[in-house]
Amino acid sequence: MAERELTYREAINEALRQEMRRDDTIILMGEDIAGGSGQPKELQDAWGGVLGVTKGLYTEFGADRVLDTPISESGYIGAAIGAAATGLRPVAELMFVGFMGVCLDQLFNQAAKLRYMFGGKARVPVTIRTMIGAGLRAAAQHSTVDYSVLTHFPGLKCVAPSSAYDAKGLLIAAIRDDDPVIFCEHKALYGEKSPVPEESYVVPLGTADIKREGRDVTLVAFAKMVHTALAAADELSKSGIQAEVVDPRSLSPLDEGTILESVKKTHRLVVVDEDTPRCGMATDIVSLVSQKAFDYLDAPPQMVTPPHTPVPFSPVLEDSYLPTPEQVADAVRGTLD
């Protein structure tokens, strides 16, 4: 029997549905995650999220557990955090990660620090789902990934799946985790399909995945950039270069071991990241490897990232803003010279 395939969007929806059936302390909150709340029944659950990811959950679980919220991210995300600290396990949606600026305090000063400040006497099992990424002509405020910032803050965890399979397993892990987890959904991946088991399963936080094995160079890439790295690897293999593609999946905690092992084997590192280059995941990985696997490196480690600029709107600009497989392949060739 052929394996069942789901899209990334469907995998997320299924993870939420299965977890909500299992545990009735799980609630969902967010702007128009149902849509039409307060309207006559036939107009409710109209959207299921702005890109349809939570569609149908309101209909199944009702208004007590699927809460449309006003546009007040500090208010409702803070409420999710307060609810998590007092016995629920909320999954709140921050529609776009670029909106973190209107609620960051609740994330980095409250969710992230409560447990520490209270000497371990609190737990905050909240999951924040948020959309990341460029490619939809959504311009500077709606196209960032910015997960580097959320990874920076101690007390937060941060994951960014690149496939439907990982999305389901990581989301279930995030929901069950007793710490605040930022779950980053790349909006250009919602249509990507992969085999996804029907039953519930967990991809543990902090475990990287080798998406392609190779011996000549290690490509570390995140979310949509995993696909860019894989395309580059395909291209490179035509000239006999075997790239290993490591997908950390979880940015914080980070599976340092898998990355370091790969580099110890390949002796070369290229990081492919959609975040901007200063104080970002790319610098994080390069510096990790430079410190801990320095003696294994046969060439300077490389970063392929967008430039230190906002995301431009114009399609021609946006397309060349993002790292391309060609750029990655060039960077790899650079390390082999």
Site residues (vs a second copy, CB under 8 A): 74, 98-109, 112-113, 116-117, 139-141, 146, 148-149, 151-155, 252, 254, 275-276, 278-284, 286-288, 290-292, 294-295, 297, 299-303, 307-310, 312-313
**Residue 336 binds ligand TPP, judged by CB under 6 A:** no
| Binding of another protein by 116 (CB under 8 A) | yes
Residue 202 binding another protein, by CB under 8 A: no
Task: Answer whether 224's CB lies under 8 Å from 133's CB.
Answer: yes
Residue nearest to ligand TPP (CB): 99
Task: Check binding of 147 to ligand TPP (CB under 6 A).
Answer: no
Which of ligand TPP, a second copy, another protein, none does residue 300 bind to, with CB < 5 to 8 Å depending on kind?
a second copy
Q: Which amino acid is at 124?
A: V
Per DSSP, the three-state class of 313 is coil
DSSP string, 270-300: EEE-SS-STTSHHHHHHHHHHHHSGGG-SS-
Q: Which is nearer to a second copy, 23 or 298 (CB)?
A: 298
Convert residues 245-274 into a mask of x (bound to another protein by CB under 8 A) and - (unbound): --------x-x-------------------
Figure out which of the listed residues 5, 22, 62, 117 binds another protein, where binding follows CB under 8 A.
117
Residue 278 interacts with which of ligand TPP, another protein, a second copy, none, CB < 5 to 8 Å by class = a second copy
CB of 111 to another protein, least distance (A): 10
CB 146 within 8 A of CB 279: no
CA distances from 17 to 121, 172, 335 (A): 30, 10, 45
Q: Is 274 known to be catalytic? A: no
Selected from 7, 69, 148, 283, the binder of another protein by CB under 8 A is 69
Residue 207 Cα to chain centre, angstroms? 13
- In the three-class reduction of DSSP (H, G, I as helix; E, B as strand; rest coil), residue 151 is classed as helix
DSSP state of 215: S
Pairing, β 5-7 against β 193-195: antiparallel
Contacts to ligand TPP from residues 2-31, by CB under 6 A: 31
Partner interacting with residue 94 (select from ligand TPP, a second copy, another protein, none; CB below 5-8 Å by kind): none
Ranges assigned E (strand) in the chain = 5-7, 28-30, 66-68, 91-96, 127-132, 157-159, 181-186, 193-195, 209-212, 217-221, 243-247, 250-252, 269-272, 302-304
User: Does the annotation count 93 as an active-site position?
Assistant: no
Catalytic residues: 73, 142
